[in-house]
Amino acid sequence: MSQADTPSPRPAQAAVQAALAAVHGTLPFADRQDFTDAERGFLGTLPDAAIAHESGRSVWGMADYAFLAADAAPDTVHPSLWRQAQLNCRHGLFEVVPGIYQVRGFDISSMTLIEGERGVIVIDPLISCEPARAGLELYFRHRGKRPVSAVIYTHSHVDHWGGVKGVVDAEEVAGGRVPVIAPSGFVEAIAQENVLAGPAMIRRAHYQFGPLLPKGPRGQVDAGLGKTTSSGAVTLIAPTDLIQRDLETRRVDGVEIVFLMAPDSEAPAEMHMYYPAFGCLNMAENTGKNVNNLLRFRGAEVRETRAR
Ligand SMILES: [Zn+2]
């Protein structure tokens, strides 16, 4: 289909307009606490979170979402999606507590950084290398350069490991200098979703997340969890240390981490973490301010709601 044949987006039909207008009376849109929460701990960012491949091709950026600055949702977008899309426009480095930081809005997912004795532990290095690298460099600018002392994948979805080679060299892992920690069943889950079902899954993920659609109130607005998926180099370094049992504890770069298994939850292989020294709990993607997709039309495994 040529560009000229591509149908242009249509205005909302009357039934859609009426259904969306009715939402305003049913939800507390005046409650702006989420916006305050999203600002908390902000340290700095890149202009428009613009991140490019070395060829110059853009792999991520927020400039095209400027239309979301409008307060009121247009009649083509559900008001809750509009609000979530505005919240997801925040990007940059945030302090969770002193010693724990997050890079948000550089991909659909967030990357967490914990300062240890020797360096920094990277948790969930995004979908692709360029955003993960840009996030780590942003962290270095604000907190000082230090080695990556460990990598942890909370679960088997690609937005939690695909950018790993942007933050650590495979040789350093192979040489035993940097452990890579993941939940039991991690590699099998990746093989099922990304290799065996890979081509179909990637194709359908484009329909699910709409990364190739023009952005706008009649185009791609948001993907709920984040804006959309980044399009840089996807990589994988296999774990060197698998967590098998509840309450397994590791001291990683001097930081005590207590693990809790959460298989067949938001992902087939997933785990939570507690960091006693910081009083912080990391629930991976089982707790968030949006509802997980339960039956994802990209074909990933159905999420069993009764088990959660
Ligand atoms: Zn996930």
The DSSP secondary structure of 105-173, one letter per residue, reads SSSSS-EEEEE-SSSEEEE---SSHHHHHHHHHHHHHHH----EEEEE-SBSSGGGTTTGGGTS-HHHH
Q: How confident is the model at residue 53 (pLDDT cuts 50, 70, 90)?
A: very high
Ligand 1 centroid – CA 216 distance (Å)? 25
Could you read off the pLDDT of 214-272 as tens digits, one per residue? 999 999 999 989 999 999 999 999 999 999 999 999 999 999 999 999 998 888 899 99
Ligand 1 centroid – CA 108 distance (Å)? 10
Ligand 1 centroid – CA 13 distance (Å)? 34
Domain residue spans of the chain = 10-307
Ligand 1 centroid – CA 296 distance (Å)? 11
CA dihedral 197, 308, 223, 38 (to 10 degrees): -140
Ligand 1 centroid – CA 15 distance (Å)? 34
Ligand 1 centroid – CA 289 distance (Å)? 14
Predicted local distance difference test score (pLDDT) of residue 306: 67
Ligand 1 centroid – CA 266 distance (Å)? 6
Ligand 1 centroid – CA 3 distance (Å)? 34
Candidates 165, 167, 161; CA nearest to 121 is: 167
- CB 100, CB 110: distance < 8 Å: no
Predicted local distance difference test score (pLDDT) of residue 305: 67
DSSP 76: T
On the question of pLDDT at 3 being above 60, the answer is no
Could you read off the pLDDT of 174-185 as tens digits, one per residue? 999 999 999 999
Predicted local distance difference test score (pLDDT) of residue 278: 98
Could you tell me how many helices (H) and strands (E) the chain has, helices first? 7, 14
**Domain 10-307, CATH:** 3.60.15.30
CA distance 242 to 125: 17
Please enumerate in sequence order all residues whose Cβ is within 8 A of that of 274, keeping only pairs 6 or more positions apart, or say none: 257, 258, 260, 280, 281, 282
Predicted local distance difference test score (pLDDT) of residue 210: 82
CA-based Rg of the chain, rounded to a whole angstrom?
20
- CB 118, CB 147: distance < 8 Å: yes
Q: How confident is the model at residue 298 (pLDDT cuts 50, 70, 90)?
A: low
Ligand 1 centroid – CA 122 distance (Å)? 17
Work out the average pLDDT over 158-178.
97
Q: How many residues does the chain have?
A: 308
First to last CA, the chain: 44
Ligand 1 centroid – CA 99 distance (Å)? 24
Ligand 1 centroid – CA 267 distance (Å)? 6
Q: How confident is the model at residue 307 (pLDDT cuts 50, 70, 90)?
A: low
Predicted local distance difference test score (pLDDT) of residue 44: 98
Ligand 1 centroid – CA 201 distance (Å)? 15
Ligand 1 centroid – CA 225 distance (Å)? 9
Predicted local distance difference test score (pLDDT) of residue 116: 98
Query: Percent of the chain having pLDDT more than 90?
Result: 77
Ligand 1 centroid – CA 252 distance (Å)? 23
Ligand 1 centroid – CA 286 distance (Å)? 8
Ligand 1 centroid – CA 284 distance (Å)? 8
| Lowest mean per-residue pLDDT among 17-31, 48-62, 87-101 | 17-31
Residue 253 phi, psi dihedral angles, 5° rounding: 50, 40
What is the average pLDDT score of the chain?
Answer: 92
Predicted local distance difference test score (pLDDT) of residue 204: 83
Ligand 1 centroid – CA 235 distance (Å)? 17
Ligand 1 centroid – CA 211 distance (Å)? 17
**Global confidence as pTM:** 0.92
- CB 91, CB 49: distance < 8 Å: yes
3-state SS, one letter per residue, for 188-248:
HHHHHHHHHCHHHHHHHHHHHHCCCCCECCCCECCCCCCCCCCCCCCCCCCCCEEECCCCC
Ligand 1 centroid – CA 237 distance (Å)? 18
Ligand 1 centroid – CA 221 distance (Å)? 20
Ligand 1 centroid – CA 285 distance (Å)? 6
Between 274 and 206, the higher pLDDT residue: 274
Predicted local distance difference test score (pLDDT) of residue 1: 45
